[in-house]
Amino acid sequence: MNVLFAGLGSMGLGMAQSLLRADHTVQGVDPNSTRVDMLCADGGVDDLEQADALVSAVLNADQTRAVLFGPDGLADHLRPGGVILSCATVAPAFAREMEAEAQARGLHYLDAPISGGAAKAAEGRLSIMAAGSADAFEASEPLLDAMAETVHRLGDSAGAGSAMKAVNQLLAGVHIAAMGEAMAFAASQGLDPARVVDVISVSAGTSWMFENRAPHVVDADYAPRSKVDIWPKDLGIVTDVASDAALPLPVTQTALSQFRATSQAGMGDEDDAAIAKYVARRGGVKLPGDD
């Protein structure tokens, strides 16, 4: 298929490369020309006249709207009956709005938020939480096959994919915030952080995020695999959607406040495990890497 790919960030570039490996023709679009050049070096093109599909892996709802339907929006370069796969984490209502806009232009739309991190994106092994019409799924299938190991098919119109992604981010975000409190608390009690990871990983207190992020605290390694600043955005979507539904989520709200505070303390571009440092410092507790 001829594919326009918008957003060549840490996730998007790997996804676009996965499409190239599956012999699709891909033209990348990104404000950073270095990223476009990287895709061209792997076989990306720069002269696509008309595309069968548009994959959008930009950061948020505003960028999604602009890149699809704004002035110079890429939807204008899709053939009639082409498909849009939108992968940003957005509110379900926004996904429904984009689907309606696409359908009004005679295009298919797949609500397709992604999960799995940059390494799995590069390997074509993402999880995609997808919802859309049967036509949207059929038109997307060769692309989903190239980019994803698992496609959760969640409904026949947009919204359910974004809703499930929001549920996942609620849990993942709270679990990272809990990891931060647990590691700081453990250190305050004189426990060896490495031993805490060993014991908790085989106990009822474990989580996917604990097992993935707590070792970063043990190693004092805050090079960003996933940044603190993802969470004010993603948990903000969760609490906004919950607020629209008049549903109080106090634990999620508190985790959001903690990520915002960690970012405001200057750690927004660090790995999200840095929330442990924010918790520890407020209590004068030393973690690995502290003097």
Cα separation, 211 vs 175, whole angstroms? 10
8 binds a second copy (CB under 8 A): no
How many C-beta atoms lie closer than 10 Å to residue 226's C-beta? 18
Confirm or reject binding of residue 177 to a second copy (CB under 8 A). yes
Q: According to the binding rule CB under 8 A, does residue 168 interact with a second copy?
A: yes
Phi, psi of 67 (to 5 degrees): -75, -25
Q: Which is nearer to a second copy, 48 or 242 (CB)?
A: 242
CB of residue 255 to a second copy, shortest distance in Å: 5
C-beta atoms surrounding 158 within 10 Å: 29
- Does 57 interact with a second copy (rule: CB under 8 A)? no
Dihedral angle sign, alpha carbons of residues 114, 115, 117, 121: negative
Tell me how far, at minimum, the Cβ of 85 lies from a second copy, in Å: 18
From candidates 115, 133, 262, 263, binder to a second copy by CB under 8 A: 115
Q: Closest distance between a second copy and the C-beta of residue 169, in Å?
A: 7
* Residue 196 makes contact with a second copy by CB under 8 A: yes
Distance CA 27, CA 158 (A): 25
Taking CB under 8 A as the binding criterion, the range among 30-38, 96-104, 186-194, 217-225 that sits at the site for a second copy is 186-194
Nearest partner of 12 among 23, 28, 31, 24, judged by Cα? 28
Is-contact 135 82, C-beta < 8 A?
Answer: no
What is the DSSP code (8-state) at residue 265? I
Q: How far is the CB of 286 from a second copy (least distance, A)?
A: 12
DSSP secondary structure of 92-136? HHHHHHHHHHHHHTT-EEEE--EESHHHHHHHT-EEEEEEE-HHH
Residue with tokens 């996942």: 168
* Of positions 86, 258, 262, 263, contacts a second copy by CB under 8 A: 258
Choices 45-53, 80-88, 95-103, 199-207; region in contact with a second copy by CB under 8 A: 199-207
Examine residue 80 and tell whether it contacts a second copy (CB under 8 A). no
Residue 44, Cβ density class (10 Å: 0-12 exposed, 13-18 middle, ≥19 buried): buried
Q: Nearer Cβ to a second copy, position 15 or 91? A: 91
- State the minimum distance, in angstroms, from the CB of residue 67 to a second copy: 25
CB-wise, 27 or 169, nearer to a second copy? 169
Please tell me whether residue 81 binds a second copy under the rule CB under 8 A.
Answer: no
Cβ neighbours of residue 16 closer than 8 Å, sequence gap 6 or more: 5, 8, 26, 28, 39, 44, 55
- The length of the chain, given as a count of residues: 291
Task: Report the residue number, 97 or 181, with the smaller CB distance to a second copy.
Answer: 181
Active site residues: 165
Using CB under 8 A as the criterion, which residues of the chain lie in contact with a second copy when the complex forms? 92, 115-117, 127, 129, 150, 152, 154, 159-160, 163-164, 166-172, 174-175, 177-179, 181-182, 184-186, 188-191, 195-196, 199-200, 202-210, 212, 238, 241-242, 245-255, 257-258, 279-280, 282-285
